[in-house]
Every structure is written in structure tokens, then in C-alpha cells.
Amino acid sequence: MHSPSVVRNSSLGYIWLAIWMISVVGMATFPSQSDFGIYLPFLCIAFTSYAYLIIKELLTIKTAVILGIIARVMLVFSFPNLSDDVYRFIWDGRLILQGMNPYSMLPSEVLSLNISRLDPELYSKLNSPDYYSVYPPVAQLIYSLGALADSWYWSSVIMKITLLVAEICSIFLIIRILNRLKLPSRNVLIYALNPLILVELMANMHFEGVMICFLLLALYFLLDKKMLNAGIWLAMSIGTKLLPLMFAPLIWKYTKHNKLLFISCFTTTFILFIPVISSIEITNFLRSIDLYFGKFEFNGGIYYLLREIGRFISGYNLIRYIGPLMGIVTLIVLYKKYQKQNQSYELLLHSLFTVFTVYILLTTTLHPWYLAIPIALSCFLKYRFILIWSFLICLTYINYSYPVYQENYWVVALEYSLVLVMLSLEYRRYYLPSSQAEV
């Protein structure tokens, strides 16, 4: 790791780092999902100290990275308080250990079979008991490892250990890529110390952390022109979460349609998804994904605006039409980036960031952990609006604080207004519509 010789650890730096660590761990440990009054002070202090540490350069990279890893180790032993997804992870893992396919049976159907450890208590914790699993096979493998433990707590610890390994790998991969691109190594702290990354990936146990690790491995091997390895790790990333699938065309174009990359990625993906292909009904997996994008709504600022316009015109919610329409817009942006893509690695990173940003801006459902990919990619770019967004999106936890869940549209309006202003300013400052795009 390279750090500027002028940067030295200072006592003030250690104080701010201690404040950062206490607030991050506190944010992940003390409040439950509905305790916004407890969550908010920790959130504000965590991001204030994070911004101060990034801007002031009070600590060496080595010190900051080590403390970032220590914070992750500490969060391994906290049970996810802010998300109930963990219960579906455990359910799917236990189902697999029983020799059953989570893409073939609904939890409500499994419950009637009275299977050991797939009991009413765990079932009552599921947030989507009437949907087939939407989690890809690599993630399911991790869930099954966690399910080896009898208790929910130790299941979460086992699964978090995989996330810890992935996060440590991601941090060092970011540093290596930064060094290869001759970019400041300090940029790694954007990811390593970001409170959203620590709380949502490590504490709340969302497996975007594993997906990002595999994606960074693919990008690293692209730098070394090792197409076989790049294709395999890209497939592993897709096999953890489907989202990197949108990056495949851009990466393939960057490699001049390299056949080895295509074959390795396609073959690995096919092997990974055999559990889905061999399901009793292959449509179950796709149907659940379709329902997710066609029914769920959360923090979709631009979608909400279009939804109200559609409701004013038609008298009812047009999500079934607006959702696919915004998906088409994302595909158009992807196609345009595909057409402009050349053999510039920097432009590839810029294109990946742009396409994913358009996707999350237009989605009907945007949870905080969805920002993990652009936060990681921003280490290689000059865009910083995503860091402001990573704070603002956490304010959506206010939705869970009401006696009956409801969405606070004032928070959504504040979030999207500030993000779009920052995005437009930075886009005008940094983006050049050519192969010489500044990154």
C-alpha cells in the first residue's frame, strides 16, 4: 500500500477514528429496525467522522484500513437488527440441507410438511413467505453453510465470516487496482470506512459484499488480460446477485469480444444455475423476480413521481407498465455505453458506474445496500455524490418507526433532490462524451 510521506498518524486522527468506530458499531448494534430515534444520532456521527477522516487525511492508509477491518470483525458477532432478510437466508439454507430446492417450494408449502428446524417460529419471521426464493445459487451455498448451526445467531456468524473474508479481499483488490491505474491509494478509504458498507453488508448481512468481491476479481484479471479468470469471477458475481449481469456486455466489448472470456463466463454461469434449471418449475425463480420488480415499492423517487402522474391520468397505479419502461431506459443507456466502449479500462469503469447509477435512479425499489456497487466503483472515479447518497438513503429507516409501516415521502424528496443536484454538478464537471472521459 502506498501512502503519501506527508501523512502521519495524529492523535486527533485516532480520536476521530474512535468516534467513527463507536458510532458505526453502535448504529449496527443498539437500535432495532423501528428505533429511528436511536439510529439517527449514530448515523449522523458516523458519517460526520467518516467525512472528516476522508477529507483531512489524519491517518495513514495502513492504519485506517486496519481499523476498518477490525470494525468488520467486531460486526461479525452482532445479530442483524436492522433487516429481517437473515431469516429467509436461514430458511433457504435449512431447506437445502433437507435436500429440498428453495426454487421449487414456497415456505408456506414447506411449513405444512412439519420438517425439523423449518418451524412456525422461523416461518413467522419471513418477510416474503409467499414467494419462491430470489437468491442465486452462490448465495444459497453460503446460506446452507450457515444453516449447519442450530441457532439463528450462530448461523448469522458463520455467514458473516464469508462476508468478512470477501470484504477484506475487496479492500486489497481496490488498492491493487488503484495502484495499477496510478490513482491515489487513499481512495480505498471511500469504501473501507463507509458506514453504509459496514452496517448494511457486514452487520445486516447483505451479500452484495461477496458479489462486489467477485466483481473486483473479474476487473482485476481484466487488467492482467487473464480472460479465463475474469470470466469465471464475473460468473461467480452473477451467481451471487444477478445485478452484475448488466455489466457483461460492456466487459465483453472492452475485451474486443474475447471468446475465452465469453466461454468461461457462460459455462460457469450455466453450471452455477443448474439448481434453477433443474427445478420442478424453472418459472418459479423468474416469477419471483418478476413479482419483485413489478410489485414491490421502496424509496423509488423518480418512479414515485411517474407513478403519481400515471395515477392522475389513469386513476390507478401503473407500476406494471412504469417498471418495465424504466428498465427499457436503463437498457438504452447500456446500449449507448456499449456502442461507445473502446479498449480504455478507465472508460469501462466509468460506463459500469454510469449504467448502474441510471438503474438505481429508475428502480421501483432502492434499499440502502443497493448503493454498495457504485460506492466501490467510485474509488476509481472522481464522482462523490454517491457518498452523500449513502448518508441520505439511510434516512429511509424512518419508514419503520411508525406504528404502521409507511413511507415518508418528504425524506425521499430530500434524498433525490440533493442527489440529483450533486450528480448534475459532478456530471458537468467530470464527464466528457468521448473515449477521453475523465475519471
pLDDT in tens, 7-20: 677 888 899 999 99
Cα angle 418-424-426, degrees, rounded to a multiple of 5: 100
Is the pLDDT score of 438 beyond 90? no
Domain annotation covers residue 6: no
pLDDT of residue 4: 44
**Is 181 inside any structural domain?**
yes
pLDDT at 437: 41
Q: Is 436 part of any domain?
A: no
pLDDT at 294 over 60: no
Structurally, how many domains does the chain consist of? 1
Give CA 56 to chain center in angstroms.
27
Identify the pLDDT of residue 290.
60
Residue-averaged pLDDT of the chain: 89
Structure confidence at residue 188 (pLDDT) = 97
Asked, for residue 20, whether it belongs to a domain, the answer is yes
Percent of all residues in the chain with a pLDDT value above 90, rounded to a whole number:
67
- Whether residue 418 is predicted with pLDDT greater than 60 in this model: the reply is yes
Q: pLDDT confidence of 39, banded at 50, 70, 90?
A: very high
Q: Are 258 and 252 in contact (CB under 8 A)?
A: yes
Q: Is the pLDDT of residue 336 over 80?
A: no
- Write the single-letter amino acid at 309: I
pLDDT the model gives residue 401: 94
Assigned domain for 4 exists:
no
pLDDT digits (tens, 9 = 90+) for 361-389: 998 889 999 999 999 999 999 999 999 99
pLDDT for position 329 = 79
Type of residue at 316: Y
Residues near 32 by beta carbon (within 8 Å), at least 6 away in sequence: 81, 82
Provide the pLDDT for residue 126.
93
Domain of residue 201, residue span: 11-430
CB-based contact 90:83 (threshold 8 Å): no
Q: What is the pLDDT of residue 3?
A: 42
| 15 Cβ contact list (under 8 Å, min separation 6) | none
Phi/psi for 335 (5° steps) reads -65, -40
pLDDT on residue 280:
52
- 96-111: average pLDDT: 90
Q: What does the pLDDT average to over 65-86?
A: 95
pLDDT score recorded for residue 321? 67
pLDDT for the residue 186: 94
Position 435 in a domain: no
Q: How far apart are CA 150 and CA 425, in angstroms?
A: 52
Pairwise pLDDT comparison (430 vs 143), residue with the higher score: 143
Helix 137-146 / helix 227-240 crossing angle, nearest 10 deg: 60
Please indicate whether residue 292 or residue 353 has the higher confidence score (pLDDT): 353
Calpha distance 195→155 (Å, rounded): 24
420: pLDDT strictly greater than 90: yes
Query: Residue 130's pLDDT band (boundaries 50, 70, 90)?
Result: confident
Write down the pTM of the prediction.
Answer: 0.91
pLDDT cut 70: percent of the chain above it? 89
Tens digit of each residue's pLDDT (9 = 90 or more) over 390-406: 999 999 999 999 999 99
Residue 116 lies in a domain: yes
